[in-house]
Structure 1
């Protein structure tokens, strides 16, 4: 079984090594004087249009949503719906949820020519995933994770760049041992979310724990958690010494965060409209993205109104009624920072 050809655009077996995530992590400090900027995997929302948008605003590496290997390798419908890409989609890392060597090897065989890296999810705390023995459940299975990593590297070597995304244990020594074990198995880099699987996102991430992991392994390390601005990224990197900084919630609210904007600029909203309607996304996903981006940019009343639209056509009409929403090809498309309200008095509706 193969991935649908129309999703691949004849990308072939050879990827440009400049887009290899390991190369980016190893060179970004030297070439750009900063850590690599990474957009993490988000269920439903790290689709192709959003990935391209984030890259436009300085993201170096962008992840897909987590794909369940079990479904992907067995179900053609899952392959059509879970993964789309094109020749502009680089550097892209596909994240996989899996708990056995057989499914992982089948998944890698099908997808590796079309991505720049593959990330093994050992950190997702969602209860349904943990019950299935994937995500954060794997933090209790270091031998299994090492076995999966070693199996991929034995078969593919440098053809596949492999990451593990982990959380921390209550005992940091367990996390150090876990990280060393997967590094010894051949993993290329490790992403560390600075919380345990039961720590709420309202609690601050543990930068000291990430720093300790970085000091105890030789492979590149990425820090994840509590990054909402480019200033946050630099501060986290300075504190931990990591090679890259991953943002998820921050990027969902402001996909231009790594370009230095403290809130979503209007140019990102117009560009997202163009990408989402050109490539295609379900209406509710488009609506959610726009709701996140507009929060803090316009009044809550306007965001609520937009969220009450019930179809793509109705939502487009709503935007056109309230803003001067330019389309690709219009003069000045995707150039403004502030929203261009159509009626001057509506500026009073801003926060």
Structure 2
């Protein structure tokens, strides 16, 4: 199976999805099947969808350090379908960006299926965000409010399944849990019956922010499912990932902030190695990463390896050249 790109625009070796031209070109076959990974019996290590952060350059970096599967940042399906500008700014990929899941915020089955059809040639699957607890998302009918609307989730999954005929294209959901876990298990069973490929469970309710993650709840959900389940929440090291995987019995773990702080986490590093920082500089410059994003990622990566004074100086830098000079002077990079 090959994927066809509709007129890709090449910029710094990345492929920007453009929807208004007619030429086609063959895209590299996406050989890595996430479903096969989940059935391998091995821990599947997943980079979470992170607004502003889990974009192509960062996905490229974590893949170098043993990350098995990456998600895009959450994209609002309605905007993506209706606006060429939104498509061009929100979704960027290239041949090495595989396997890839595109996460959408949606509350309309038709718009979601339209968005899925657009990204189908470029990705291994889509994920429906049913877990974002931010007020703006829930006010728009996105995110965690969907765990209380199992019929809508069912309809969205069915519509995507009916409209996207590409073999192996996955449709997954990412959820939070209810106070009454029976409701969550019921939601997951209904999603499984509808044809969901796997479910990612963040082990907190929509109201919880920094409370301990309910890994016991994730375990119960997994025990009630036949499809793969991914555990998510407060995983900061490979050792913690392996421990959560063992105690929950899940098929993989998804990490967000832990990877921001240490993109080499899944490779077993306790803190960001200097080689990883060097890799980020190379990747970010090659892919034309905006300065703010370039700088912000480095601030996260260097949090544990810099003193308070060094942080003040580094965080105040205002240009790419100043950052490279600083790294060269202080770390020989």
**In structure 1, how many angstroms separate the alpha carbons of the residues matched to 2:212 and 2:183?**
20
**3-state DSSP class of the match of 2:80?**
helix
**Following the alignment from structure 1 to structure 2, what is the Cα–Cα distance between the partners of residues 127 and 79?**
24
- Name the residue aligned to 1:5: 8
Q: Which moved more, 1:68-77 or 1:248-257?
A: 68-77
The yes-or-no answer on 1:303 pairing with 2:316 is no
1:204-283 to 2 correspondences below 5 Å: 204-283=212-291
Q: Any idea what the Cα deviations from partners look like across 1:30-78, whole Å, max 9, x if unmatched?
A: xxxx310111011000011110110110000011101111111111111
Q: Distance in 2 between matches of 1:310 and 1:49?
A: 20
Alpha-carbon distance between aligned partners in 1 of 2:212 and 2:299, rounded to the nearest angstrom? 25
TM-score by length of 1: 0.87
Higher strand share: 2
Alignment map for 1:12-31 (pairs within 5 Å): 12=26, 15-16=29-30, 18-27=31-40, 29=41
Contact kept? 1:66, 1:95, Cα under 8 Å:
yes
Structure 1 residues 37 and 312, CA, compared in 2 at 3 Å: closer, same or farther? same
Secondary structure, in 3 states, of the residue corresponding to 2:206? coil
- The ranges of structure 1 where at least 4 consecutive aligned residues each deviate by more than 6 angstroms after the TM superposition are none
Choose which of 31, 38, 49 in structure 1 pairs with 2:57: 49
Equivalenced residue count is 317
* Residues 27, 95 of structure 2: 8 Å contact kept: no
What's the RMSD between the two structures over aligned residues? 1.7
Structure 1 residue 91: deviation in Å? Answer: 1.1
Q: How does 1:1-351 map to 2 (within 5 A)?
A: 5-6=8-9, 7=15, 12=26, 15-16=29-30, 18-27=31-40, 29=41, 34-157=42-165, 158-200=167-209, 202-325=210-333
**How far off is 1:313 after superposition?**
2.3
Q: Which has the higher helix share?
A: 1
- C-alpha contact (below 8 Å) 1:21/1:117 kept by paired residues: no
Higher mean C-alpha displacement, 2-11 vs 152-161: 2-11
Deviation at 1:131, TM superposition (A): 0.6
Q: Is the 8 A contact 2:199 2:230 kept in 1?
A: yes
Cα distance in 2 for partners of 1:226, 1:296 equals 17
Alpha-carbon distance in structure 2 between the residues aligned to 1:44 and 1:254: 17
Residues 61 and 181 from structure 1, CA distance in 2 versus in 1: closer, same or farther, beyond 3 angstroms? Answer: same
Can you give the 5+ residue segments of structure 1 that lack an aligned partner in the other structure? 326-351
CA distance in 1, matches of 2:92, 2:250: 30
How far off its partner does 1:319 sit? Answer: 2.2
- Taking structure 2 as the reference length, the TM-score comes to 0.91
Unaligned regions of 5+ residues in structure 2, if any? Answer: 10-14, 18-23
Q: Is the 8 A contact 1:4 1:80 kept in 2?
A: no
